[in-house]
Structure 1
Amino acid sequence: MFPFVFPIIVIFLFIIFLSSFFTVKQQSAAIVERFGKFLSIRHSGLQMKIPIVDRIAGRMSLKIQQLDVIVETKTLDDVFVRLKISVQFMVISEKVYDAFYKLDYAHDQITSYVFDVVRAEVPKMKLDDVFVKKDDIAIAVKTELNDAMSDYGYDIIKTLVTDIDPDAQVKAAMNRINASEREKIAAQFEGDAARILIVERAKAEAESKRLQGQGIADQRREIARGLEESVDVLNRVGINSQEASALIVVTQHYDTLQSIGEHVNSNLILLPNSPQAGSDMLNNMVASFSASNQIGEAMKEAKNKKKENEKKQ
């Protein structure tokens, strides 16, 4: 019997020897107990314990962890809203003992504090303020959690308000309000554009009229200059001013008739074409100029008399 027992004992001792060693992963810690009592905390690497006497009670990660908590609460203006709070936390390496022995369910504890803080802060704000001041809510949650969880060996790295979801009817109303505001702004821009267009058209029309008037004035000035030169030329050949004027009027009269006759699509126009017509036109022009000069002189005399009477008074 003895030859069979010895190999079994050797194998048993070898297994015990192997169970004396264990490894701890990077960024983690192992808690070792001896007969149910805390013995030590082992960090990353190859570690040794007494078989049967010592045991690994648990392992804890020292990495940063994230817990997402969804809280439903009511705002100051009686709007129900759901907030998603993301809490990033980690176990403090120097307080692994507290994190392992003082608190069983860290996630539940953190969730309770998040609910408590959010439901205390959000009811003080209106819905619009919740969106604007979400960082203030996150800071309040982080401050409360740090004060509470540091005693349990946890460090709160950061808290974030990652989502704000109001009631569906409230979101639809907000969308309608935003759409109305945008339509109002668009209408204002369209009105401004139409007003600018009208002003620019008026300016362009005024400039066109000014240039048109300037062109007519230049045309009349050139006509007068041409007539003056024509009269000077005729005077130099022995034709007096009255005869020269009559000749020019008759010439222009026939030029006009010729110009009208060149347009085959023109409507029928009856005009006097005798030389007497040109003479009558000249006499009428001379009479008009003479009457205009007399009226002008009479107006000047009346104005001068009025000034003299005012000075006398």
Structure 2
Amino acid sequence: MNLGIIVVPQQSNYIVERFGKFYRLLNPGIEFLIPLVDQVAYTHSLKEEALSIPNQTAVTRDNVTITIDGVLYVKVEDAYNASYGVEDPHQAMSLLAQTTMRSELGKLTLDKTFKERETLNELIVNRINKAAKPWGIRCIRYEIRDIHPPEGVRRAMELQAEAERRKRAQILDSEAEMQSDINVAEGHKKAMILTSEADKVEKVNQGRGEANAILARMKAISESLDLISKAVNENEKGRQAVKLRILEQYIHSFHEIVGKTNSIVVPGGKGGSDISSFLAQAITLATKLTEPVPDEEEGGEATERGREYNSNS
């Protein structure tokens, strides 16, 4: 009732008519009207409102009938157009959302309907805003709440999802086994490489040890020969000892030769059957072997003796 004074709440707009004709728009606050002349024809809330879209059936591109519902969020932006552009803006937006949703679902297959819900929501919002622009009301967003496929299709989808999960599990198991085999093979490979390197190092060290041992033996033999040579050339007793050693070896060798054959072997020469001549021959050989080597710097005579010595030796 118009009593002359009216208070408009916050986030609201009132449409005032004078004698049935639009007069002015009342904004939030206190306003003064002429009783019986001015009349508040429409009131609009400028807040965002949620409209529930009831269940409806739609046919997808692959001819599957589904039941779908959603929620539509709208807001009045122009109270004048919302009052005179459409009879009931909220009902008009709800019906427009239903028809737009059925139209967009007919362009998608069932699988894409589940996968591209965000894209489908944006398409529906754009179509609604384009159609509702003259109504002074704007669609903020649209959210698909539930999608109910037929019972047979739902069972098939469940079986498909279960098969897909089993497939992923088998793939993960096979990849794990493959990685395990690769790790084992890499371990064997590294072990063989380390073993071959260790064997190589061991052989090298062993060869070096044998070479060092041979060098040490040769050095010892050389040093012993040097000592024997010095003892023979400088010491008479040393020459006597060498003579005795050569004599022992001569007799020992002769004894081994006799023991291994069925024949009797004696040194040749005059009086070869006499044992004394055999011993004398051994002593003469030992004496020649232990005589010092003449030096060539002493003269021609020494050189001749040296040549005679070498030929006798």
Instruction: Give TM-score scaled by structure 2 length.
Output: 0.58
Question: Structure 1: where are the runs of 5+ without partners?
Answer: 1-15, 240-313
Identity of aligned residues (%): 20
Shift of the alpha carbon at 1:170?
Answer: 5.2
Shift of the alpha carbon at 1:89?
Answer: 2.5
Does residue 73 of the first structure (1) align with residue 55 of the second (2)? no
Partner of 2:208: 222
CA contact (8 A) 1:98 1:151 kept: yes
RMSD: 3.2
1:135-174 to 2 correspondences below 5 Å = 135-156=118-139, 158-163=140-145, 165-167=147-149, 168-169=154-155, 172-174=158-160
Shift of the alpha carbon at 1:145?
Answer: 1.9
CA contact (8 A) 2:72 2:94 kept: no
1:194-273 to 2 correspondences below 5 Å = 194-235=180-221, 236-238=223-225
Which segment is superposed worse, 24-33 or 61-70?
61-70
- Aligned partners of 1:50, 1:120: CA distance in 2, in Å? 49
1:34-91 Cα distance to aligned partner (Å, 9 max, x none):
4655443322221111224433333111233332425543433344545554433322
Q: Which amino acid aligns with 2:141?
A: T
CA contact (8 A) 2:124 2:142 kept: no
CA contact (8 A) 2:8 2:27 kept: yes
Does residue 107 of the first structure (1) align with residue 93 of the second (2)? no
- Aligned partners of 1:183, 1:139: CA distance in 2, in Å? 35
- Aligned partners of 1:199, 1:186: CA distance in 2, in Å? 20
Larger radius of gyration: 2
Shift of the alpha carbon at 1:102?
Answer: 4.6
Task: Provide the aligned length of Structure 1 versus Structure 2.
Answer: 220
Partner of 1:46: 30
Q: Which of the numbers 117, 129, 141 marks the counterpart of 2:100?
A: 117
Shift of the alpha carbon at 1:125?
Answer: 1.6
CA contact (8 A) 2:100 2:128 kept: no
Q: Which of the numbers 63, 77, 84 marks the counterpart of 1:92?
A: 77
Partner of 1:134: 117
CA contact (8 A) 2:104 2:124 kept: no
Shift of the alpha carbon at 1:197?
Answer: 0.9
CA contact (8 A) 2:60 2:110 kept: yes
Cα distance change, pair 73–80 in 1 and its aligned pair in 2 (3 A): same
- Aligned partners of 1:237, 1:72: CA distance in 2, in Å? 116
